[in-house]
Amino acid sequence: MNARELRRKYIEFFKSKDHREYPSSSLVPINVLGNEDESLLFTSAGMVQFKPYFLAVAQPPHPRLTDAQKCLRTTDIESVGDSSHLTFFEMMGNFSFGNYFKPEAIEWAWEFLTEWLKLDPSRLRVTVYKEDDEAYNLWLTKIGLHAERISRFDEDKNYWPGKAVTMGPNGPCGPCSEIFWDTSPDLPFDNEWNGDGNRWLEIWNLVFMQFERIGDLIIDNALTRDGHWENVELLPLPNKNVDTGMGLERTSAALLGMPSVYETDVFQPILKRIGELSKRNYETADEPIKVVFRIIADHIRSATFCIADGVRPENTGRGYVLRRLIRRAILKGQRQLGFKKPFFADVFPAVVEVLSDQYPELIERRDFIIRTLQDEEDLFRSRLAEGIKRAEGLALTGRDAFMLYDTYGFPLEVTMELAQERGLTIDLEEFNRSLEEQRQRSKVAGGIAEDVFSKDAGVLQELTKTIPATQFAGYSGCEAEAQVVGLIVEGKIAQSAKKGDRVEVILDQTPFYAESGGPVGDTGKITSPTGSIEVLDTQKVNERWAHIGKVLEGEISVGEQVHAVVETARRMDIERNHTATHLLHAALRTVLGAHVHQAGSLVAPNSLRFDFTHNKAMTEDEIRGVEELVNHEILSDRVVQAHADMPIAEARERGAMALFGEKYGDKVRMVEVEQFSRELCGGLHVGHTSQIGQFRITTESSVASGVRRIEAVTGIGAYQYGVERDRLLREAAATLRTSPNEIAAGIERLQNQLKQTEKRLEGLRTEQASTGAEVKVFEVDGIKIVAQKAENTDAKSASIIADRLAEQNPDSAVIIAAIDEGKAMFVAKVPALLLQKGVHAGNLVREVAKIAGGGGGGRPDFAQAGAKDLSKIDEALLAVPGIIEGQLKSK
């Protein structure tokens, strides 16, 4: 049974136990309610999407579910390449939501392994949480395992999620019982096993989800989101649940009796492909080379699935993890397998071969995946050489590592590996400090929220349980009087904050718009009689608004009355971009058709981004058409009106556009641009379209198969865009030494010149290659004459060739017939020795040229003459010995 069959078998088994099959969710952690799980970068386990079911905030479609889930964990990235660790893997799972519990979970896992898969029970052992007598007794009495095969361990080993934050999401957790496979059955059974080591391979984890973990999530590594918990408290969940995860690749290796996951059918074709591309053989390679093969095979799987789920290589967050995986694989391939040219995207077809039947997105998004991989490899290669050279002169301090990361896009590991090769270690604290400093420097929209807020989201969630929902007072203005109802200071719930503290302030009502969907959160100021706070971002959790920022002066306490003021200019810019987004949406549907739907958006003060369904690149005409239509609506000064509390049926009837996958209540808010657009939307807009000023599309590109992206600017941003374009044009014109209007003609001229130069260069190359072959040597009265016919050679090249021949043949007369673009010329050079004997270059070329219908002359030692009749060149050259003989005689 191979891995593919094992996948089916597992689902079939649990279906026979009344489970319903559920599709894999995306690697980007989106739960069953369609919300992103902020506590994780990636889906790292089968249960991630089901969190709302475990917390009992939503009803599952069936109390028992089963699935094969794509998972990504980078916790073990350093171990990838050994026999069992992977970053991307498939986790088979069976789940109970308040239905069955420990007895069934244990019994079925054992039944599946020993009866359906027929794994040898004498090669299995289990672990349980040290205080879980129930699970211990079930293994002992119900399954009949010998006590020596049941080990008890503490929370480090038998609690899930464990301490590593990247393992599993914030929230539901519980004691677990793990099943291990003996990879060395010939060794005597180890009674004293401490749970570590390579002999026993963990293949299945049964988690008894009983608690909700509340605590402070401390992110230690801002890049990878690794971190740990502090001040943990466990609250019982409303139900007792089961979450199990069986590693598909590991169990498959056990089934096949193979020593490593890489020997299974989901890896072999990938390793083979790497072998073909690198002209090496995985089977016969040395262990260190095998490790590189495996790392590339692992990373290509992770990278392609990330890209298929919409992640793009970037320098932070999820995109950084992707970039790191791609670049790490490429670097190893280059350095250890000798790939000189881009190769990584060429491995992808093998991933399609082994996994696309289960995950059709690999085929659907094939072109996009390949292009993303290729682009990233090109970018990395162009930076790599430069960066490595730069690194050579450095002591590789933490600050240097940051510079390489920031300027050359070197993932930290790449620099760490360079350092290791030189026996150095990178100061990670210094690296993180530099990273933090840079973040502080660039407090752009959203930036601060990503750093601070996600770290505190758990705390805010906790705080929301004790305070009422925030009233939003921002539709009617930018200011409000309010009361402080909650404070989080430096990540902890607090009663007051003082100057310099990093805070999140929760008010009973607020004019600040909190980020949701497209638009980013507002910034501004909150002042009280005793202090003031700079608000750098606004986010919301459970309808409680968090004003994120810093205490500028004095102090601020819970219960105080404050005055909250939004930064108006920035708010206006966001509104311009937001209304423009609605206009753009309607314009796209007019120009491209009704198949266009919004697939995502970002509305920031300085630009807007709009993703939409459309399956080919827009033409230049379509882009300009859409841009013109939007600008037309702006100039028509349409009234923009929000209709609050409209029954959803009425909004539908009036043709209001709703977003896919969005859940709406009975009453909705419809934003209408008079005679042009109607959309369901809770956001803020300009009152009249003319306030947008101007709208310019800056780029149109692909995000995923069937999804295009438009980036655009409005208002002063559009004006600045024009100014910047103008500057670029003027700069280009100045470089071309022409006026902006003449740029195209100037470029054409340059291109023509370049073409000619290339042609000549080519001629020169040919000539160089044929040097010797085309050269004729004559002898007259003991004097040597070297003659050469050179095609595609202009005057300048001809004299260079003449000089070179003269140098190689001292004391010889040299004559070149150079042919270029239908014209020919002769160049002659005569050394001093022959001048004395009466040889004259000027007279020589004149006579020779005459034969070919031309004329000219010059000095005795160097002369040039033009010719017209190209068919006579050979004849003319053959006449040279006779002419020189005549010159010698007449002396």
Give the residues lining the site for ligand SER (CB under 6 A).
45-47, 93, 160, 168, 205, 207, 243-245
243 or 611: whose CB is closer to ligand SER? 243
List of residues 6+ apart from 148 with CB closer than 8 A? 189, 191
CB of 206 to ligand SER, least distance (A): 7
CB of 396 to ligand SER, least distance (A): 36
Partners of residue 708 on adjacent β-strands: 612, 702
d(CA 691, CA 714): 10
CB of 167 to ligand SER, least distance (A): 7
830 φ/ψ sector (left φ>0, alpha ψ -120 to 50, else beta): beta
166 or 470: whose CB is closer to ligand SER? 166
CB of 160 to ligand SER, least distance (A): 5
Query: Would you tell me how many other CB atoms lie within 10 Å of the CB of residue 10?
Result: 22
Strand ranges inside 408-527, DSSP E = 471-472, 479-489, 492-494, 496-498, 502-507, 509-510, 524-527
CB of 558 to ligand SER, least distance (A): 38
Tell me the residue type at 762.
E
227 or 245: whose CB is closer to ligand SER? 245
Integer CA distances (angstroms), 830 to 143, 677, 806, 833, 861, in order: 105, 85, 8, 8, 5
CB of 310 to ligand SER, least distance (A): 23
CB of 461 to ligand SER, least distance (A): 21
d(CA 246, CA 116): 14
204 or 545: whose CB is closer to ligand SER? 204
158 or 538: whose CB is closer to ligand SER? 158
243 or 515: whose CB is closer to ligand SER? 243
81 or 175: whose CB is closer to ligand SER? 175
- As a residue count, the chain comes to 891
52 or 474: whose CB is closer to ligand SER? 52
77 or 329: whose CB is closer to ligand SER? 77
CB-count burial class (<10 Å; 0-12, 13-18, 19+) for 399:
middle
Instruction: Give the H or E element holding residue 500.
Output: none
CB of 246 to ligand SER, least distance (A): 8
CB of 102 to ligand SER, least distance (A): 14
Geometric angle at alpha carbon 452, from 449 and 455, rounded to 5°: 115
d(CA 26, CA 309): 6
Partners of residue 712 on adjacent β-strands: 608, 697
| Chain mean position to CA 350 | 21
CB of 245 to ligand SER, least distance (A): 2
Find, among 77, 14, 18, 78, the residue nearest to 46 by Cα. Answer: 14
Pairing of strands 598-603, 608-613: antiparallel
d(CA 250, CA 253): 5
CB of 179 to ligand SER, least distance (A): 11
Structure tokens, 137: 């007794």
Tell me the residue number closest to ligand SER, measured at CB: 245
1 or 164: whose CB is closer to ligand SER? 164
Q: What is the DSSP string of 60-109?
A: -SSSEEEEEEEEE--TTGGGTTSSS--SEEEEEEEEEESS--HHHHHHHH
Q: Omega before 161 cis (within 30°)?
A: yes
Geometric angle at alpha carbon 860, from 858 and 862, rounded to 5°: 65
243 or 820: whose CB is closer to ligand SER? 243
Can you tell me whether residue 228 is helix, strand or coil? Answer: strand
60 or 245: whose CB is closer to ligand SER? 245
160 or 229: whose CB is closer to ligand SER? 160
CB-count burial class (<10 Å; 0-12, 13-18, 19+) for 400:
buried
User: Which pairs count as long-range contacts for 361-367, CB under 8 Å and 24+ apart, including other chains?
Assistant: 361/308, 361/309, 362/304, 362/305, 362/308, 364/705, 364/706, 365/307, 365/308, 365/704, 365/705, 366/705, 367/705
CB of 93 to ligand SER, least distance (A): 5
HSE-up of residue 641 (Cα within 13 Å, Cβ side): 7
CB of 161 to ligand SER, least distance (A): 7
Query: Would you tell me how many other CB atoms lie within 10 Å of the CB of residue 462?
Result: 18
Query: Pseudo-torsion of CA 244, 245, 246, 249, nearest 10°?
Result: 170
CB of 590 to ligand SER, least distance (A): 48
207 or 322: whose CB is closer to ligand SER? 207
75 or 771: whose CB is closer to ligand SER? 75
CB of 116 to ligand SER, least distance (A): 19
